[in-house]
């Protein structure tokens, strides 16, 4: 069969259309963001710091952007993903701990009575964390998390948690990196928990993940060195801990910070109060239909001070409802 040849005019048209499509893509690095203040602000900031001739030029080495994770890059509702992991691990480990049936907060977790578990307070949460996060090697822990993420599903969406990431934020991460930024995660979540998926999911390598840590110990077991996770908190990377973590792990002040709750307040304050061009952005969860609507008074991801003080500090408040065309990558 002879292939039908396109006329020269049709070829020309095809080429023009392809070029136009490319040009549109090139002009819009953030296709899931609606046009508006938030998107313009981000694009103008990136243009300013990458313009060699401009007064706000920042050399690539200093283009450091920090992102909170829970509620900023992926969903934190109805509970933090790492807390869902804790619950599942307690259930999985319960046969080896018959005493948990009588002991809060474990009893509550096993019986699905999270209110009773929560009544054990911060000490109870710490007990849960240590029972599920310590006492194994770092390799064993990473494997457990990876296996769990492969099978666990979000209670409302029925999707893997690694699908519960925000498409507009994935685009933002990529856009910043294309413009010479180093993108870091700076999260209250456990650093070893996040490192298992941050590379594949966000394009953020292990050495650019800053988070909460527990103490570890180096050991040689049967001639093979391992690092063992100990049941002791080392560092909590939340609130005023975020600038501390940034300074400790990164060692210089970022020029852009992205968060969603008051746990990110000090990070945004630290980043945006330095001289020179700075970008502070808060993702406001105001989309109950596509995800969840919460801010003031929410037990998870409370956002109050950021809403009140953010605008006069020059921070951009992103409305998920209005600023985002799409929330999750799996949306049609």
CB of 300 to a copy of itself, least distance (A): 23
Of 100 and 270, which CB lies nearer to a copy of itself in the complex structure?
Answer: 270
Is the separation of the CB atoms in 265 and 300 below 8 Å? no
Of 108 and 245, which CB lies nearer to a copy of itself in the complex structure?
Answer: 245
In the complex, the residues that contact a copy of itself under the rule CB under 8 A are 61, 64, 138, 182, 191-192, 195, 205-207, 209, 213, 216-218, 220, 224-225, 227, 234, 240-241, 243-244, 247-252, 266, 269-270, 273
State how far the Cα of 95 lies from the Cα of 93, in Å rounded to an integer: 6
Of 106 and 265, which CB lies nearer to a copy of itself in the complex structure?
Answer: 265
Is the separation of the CB atoms in 128 and 109 below 8 Å? yes
CB of 52 to a copy of itself, least distance (A): 20
Of 34 and 138, which CB lies nearer to a copy of itself in the complex structure?
Answer: 138
CB of 316 to a copy of itself, least distance (A): 19
Tokens of 158: 């029925």
CB of 205 to a copy of itself, least distance (A): 6
CB of 266 to a copy of itself, least distance (A): 6
Of 39 and 253, which CB lies nearer to a copy of itself in the complex structure?
Answer: 253
CB of 64 to a copy of itself, least distance (A): 8
CB of 279 to a copy of itself, least distance (A): 17
Of 156 and 215, which CB lies nearer to a copy of itself in the complex structure?
Answer: 215
Of 243 and 277, which CB lies nearer to a copy of itself in the complex structure?
Answer: 243
């Amino acid at each position: 069969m002879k292939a039908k040849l396109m006329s020269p005019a049709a070829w020309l048209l095809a080429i023009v259309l392809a070029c136009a499509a490319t040009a549109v893509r090139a002009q819009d690095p953030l296709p899931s963001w609606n046009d508006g203040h938030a998107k313009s602000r981000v694009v103008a900031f990136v243009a300013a710091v990458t313009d060699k001739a401009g007064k706000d030029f920042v050399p690539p080495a200093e283009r450091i952007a920090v992102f909170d994770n829970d509620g900023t890059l992926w969903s934190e509702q109805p509970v933090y993903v790492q807390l869902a992991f804790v619950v599942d691990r307690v259930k999985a480990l319960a046969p080896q701990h018959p005493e948990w049936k009588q002991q809060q907060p474990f009893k509550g977790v096993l019986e699905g009575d999270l209110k009773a578990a929560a009544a054990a307070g911060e000490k109870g949460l710490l007990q849960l964390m240590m029972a599920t996060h310590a006492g194994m090697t770092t390799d064993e822990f990473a494997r457990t998390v990876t296996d769990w993420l492969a099978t666990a599903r979000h209670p409302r969406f029925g999707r893997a948690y690694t699908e519960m990431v925000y498409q507009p934020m994935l685009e933002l991460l990529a856009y910043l990196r294309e413009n010479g930024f180093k993108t870091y995660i700076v999260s209250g979540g456990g650093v070893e928990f996040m490192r298992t998926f941050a590379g594949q999911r966000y394009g953020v390598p292990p050495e650019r993940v800053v988070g909460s840590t527990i103490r570890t110990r180096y050991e040689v077991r049967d001639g093979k060195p391992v690092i063992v996770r100990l049941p002791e908190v080392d560092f909590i990377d939340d609130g005023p801990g975020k600038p501390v973590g940034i300074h400790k792990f990164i060692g210089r002040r970022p020029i852009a910070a992205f968060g969603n709750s008051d746990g990110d307040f000090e990070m945004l304050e630290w980043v945006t109060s330095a001289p020179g061009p700075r970008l502070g952005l808060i993702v406001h969860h105001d989309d109950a239909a596509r995800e969840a609507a919460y801010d003031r008074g929410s037990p998870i991801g409370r956002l109050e001070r950021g809403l009140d003080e953010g605008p006069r500090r020059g921070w951009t408040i992103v409305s998920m409802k209005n600023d985002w065309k799409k929330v999750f990558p799996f949306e049609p």
